[in-house]
Amino acid sequence: MAIRNIVKEGDELLRKKSKPVVDFDKNLHMLLDDMVETMHKAEGAGLAGVQVGVLKRVFVMHAGKEIRECINPKILKEEGENKIKVEGCLSVPGKCGTVDRPEKVWVEYQDRNGNKVNKKFTGFEAKCFCHESDHLDGILYIDKATKMFKDRNEYGEYEKKKETK
Ligand code: CO
């Protein structure tokens, strides 16, 4: 396993559309292992292939109890409004912003062996699934953010002010 370099905002690569995975082989498994390790090292909740320079429709996420490896993901249905607004991205270091996402998503993807998986995610996992899926289409959360903050402190201050109003 190895830590891979994370592509940062400003790099054109992040704007490219990723291609479907067809080979569920050793190379894919190595990529997934590296991505999980890289995500954990960077203390992120999710990481997409494009963020480590691989334009394949894959992402990993650790937004709940389990680590998920999602290949060729699709969102089939969405419902509700996610209560969690704040979002960050390992490709946009430091900053954060508020983004509206669904509370529930019904999804389909393949695991590392190509088996079809159907799941329903809620809350933070739903939010994360949407954020990572966007990466595969060259979309960053900053494109959708209703408000941006230069760091978590600034966001904290904003939330505090809202409460006292
Ligand atoms: Co991201």
Per residue in 60-113, pLDDT (tens digit) is 999 999 999 999 999 999 999 999 999 999 999 999 999 999 999 999 999 999
CA of 92 to the centre of ligand 1 (A): 8
Give catalytic residues, as residue numbers: 132
Can you give the pLDDT at residue 162? 84
Task: Compute the average pLDDT of residues 11-30.
Answer: 98
pTM of the model: 0.96
Q: Give the SS3 label for residue 153.
A: helix
CA-wise closest residue to 59 among 46, 74, 75, 44: 46
Task: Compute the average pLDDT of residues 1-15.
Answer: 96
Kindly state the greatest CA–CA separation across the chain: 55
Q: Taking a C-beta distance cutoff of 8 angstroms, is the pair 23, 70 a contact?
A: no
pLDDT category at 163 given cuts 50, 70, 90 is confident
CA of 130 to the centre of ligand 1 (A): 10
* AA identity, residue 111: D
CA of 140 to the centre of ligand 1 (A): 7
- Whether 20 has a pLDDT exceeding 70, the answer reads yes
Can you give the pLDDT at residue 99? 98
CA of 165 to the centre of ligand 1 (A): 32
